[in-house]
Structure 1
Amino acid sequence: MSKCPWILKLGFALLIPLLGGCAFADHRSLPYDAWSLRFFSRDYMEVWIETADVVDINARVFRRAGSGIPASSYPRPLSKGIPARFKGDPKGWPEHPGGKGRYVRDADLPRLVYVRWQSMAEPQTYEAYIEIPESARKTMLQGEKTYCRADGKWITDHRNMLIVGLAPGGIAKVWLGGQCLLSTEVIRVQGTINAKGPNGGTSDGRHRRLSDESKAYVDSFGIPYGSW
């Protein structure tokens, strides 16, 4: 447990100057080199992640551990124009999601993830503070014997992928996954509207532009609030 439990109650803008007073371990307790932070959005409900910051169990802050465009099935990256038939379905969540992201190098297990994103389908800017349960951290340390189809071998794998799904209405849902293990649900968080708006208030309230295909879907079918 962190020796500074009060640190999570403070805004991220205050974290770095305060961390100098915290004592934390000089080594990580992971059975693998690093864990990864991954994101995805629902079909046509396009998202732009302005920043994702991490606080580990030793109260260290990792700024911009994630940013940019998360994984999504539709619209396809190279698709152009509006299709005759929409093949995607944004309602609900996939049973075992994946995601796109990067490794959080030199971090110990995650205690808190802060994410601020533009929900371009609405449009709106949200932020969420996701406190990772102790039970999830224990799961991240547990090795599990599994058959890996990628190389046709039995291996000991770990759920070292923290996967975050982002949806309109400020919903953030978290899973744990592994290279050869199915993902398991961790927590669902209701985010809040960021008062400064997109880009920290530097873009005069203008959000990033929704693609033509996604806009056509939203205009035709709306946003399935309540399904996430």
Structure 2
Amino acid sequence: MINAKTFLLIIFCLFVSACSTNSQIKSKQLNEWTVSTVAPKYYSAYIDILLITSETKQGGWRGMVTKYTKFSKNPNSWEGRERYSSGYSIQSTELPGLIYIRWHSLANKKTYNKTIKVSEDIRRKMREYHDIRCGYYDLLLPYKDNILLGLAPDGMISVFLNGTCFDNELQFKVQAVEYKVADDFVYPELSEEAQAYVDEHGVPTGIW
């Protein structure tokens, strides 16, 4: 005979197991993803507009990735893991089709804009399930669910795909075009440290 306490314990274990199974089933469909931005260290990018159109072109999202984007680890590369602090999170099983971004490059006081096409191949990579765990709590984080836009001061955009358990994977690069701002527009100032670096090294082109 099973006593009442044992019976309740069995029921509880079955309930937890069922919840865990349902959680695993749900995790096998990507239903939340982000678009993030990063700028080379010292070369601040001030985000103005971010528009995202869904893959079916039936709707979209408008969000802010925070005004000032985060920095890479050093001025001449995109190394670093500071990508999620400036992410715009979207809860949807539908993935992006187009991304429009406009930003101000404070180092050279120029404004750029570009519409970026997200290919079906990128969406396929985002939906692909990987049985992978990482981090202090060894969490199951199976998706490359973040599109990272590297915004260079010369207007070049490097489009990466990554995830909490995945490093940056460059998908392609695209050149943004310069956007004419109003004559009375005032660019925000760089920090003293960043301005000192730019004064010494200038604003290079073609290295990002």
- Provide, for residues 67-102 of structure 1, a one-character-per-residue CA deviation record: whole Å limited to 9, x for no partner: 4111115xxxxxxxxxxxxxx631133277734212
- Within the candidate set 79, 94, 100, 1:94 is matched to 79
- Are the equivalent residues in 2 in contact too, given 1:56–1:107 (CA < 8 A)? no
1:48 aligns with 2:28: no
Q: Which residue of 2 aligns with 1:142?
A: 128
Q: Which residue of 2 aligns with 1:191?
A: 176
Q: What 5-or-longer segments of structure 1 have no aligned partner? A: 1-29, 74-87
- Within the candidate set 207, 223, 227, 2:187 is matched to 207
- Within the candidate set 151, 156, 164, 1:166 is matched to 151
Shift of residue 190, structure 1, vs aligned partner = 0.2
Q: Which residue of 2 aligns with 1:7?
A: none
Question: Aligned with 2:70: secondary structure?
Answer: coil
- Are the equivalent residues in 2 in contact too, given 1:37–1:103 (CA < 8 A)? yes
1:39 aligns with 2:37: yes
Q: Which residue of 2 aligns with 1:227?
A: 207
Q: Distance in 2 between matches of 1:221 and 1:112?
A: 35
- Provide, for residues 157-198 of structure 1, a one-character-per-residue CA deviation record: whole Å limited to 9, x for no partner: 101111111011111111111121223111211000112x1x
Q: CA RMSD in A?
A: 2.1
* Runs of 4+, deviation exceeding 3 Å: none
Considering only CA atoms, is the larger Rg found in Structure 1 or Structure 2?
2
- Within the candidate set 105, 109, 115, 1:119 is matched to 105
Shift of residue 65, structure 1, vs aligned partner = 4.8
Q: Distance in 2 between matches of 1:148 and 1:91?
A: 28
Q: Distance in 2 between matches of 1:170 and 1:104?
A: 26
Q: Distance in 1 between matches of 2:50 and 2:141?
A: 29
**TM-score under structure 1 normalisation?**
0.72
- Are the equivalent residues in 1 in contact too, given 2:132–2:141 (CA < 8 A)? yes
- Are the equivalent residues in 1 in contact too, given 2:64–2:88 (CA < 8 A)? yes
Higher helix share: 2
Q: Distance in 2 between matches of 1:216 and 1:156?
A: 40
- Provide, for residues 96-132 of structure 1, a one-character-per-residue CA deviation record: whole Å limited to 9, x for no partner: 7734212123461111110000000001010011111
**TM-score under structure 2 normalisation?**
0.78
* Alignment: residue pair count: 179
- Are the equivalent residues in 2 in contact too, given 1:126–1:191 (CA < 8 A)? yes
Q: What 5-or-longer segments of structure 2 have no aligned partner? A: 1-27
Q: Distance in 2 between matches of 1:98 and 1:137?
A: 19
Question: Aligned with 2:36: secondary structure?
Answer: strand
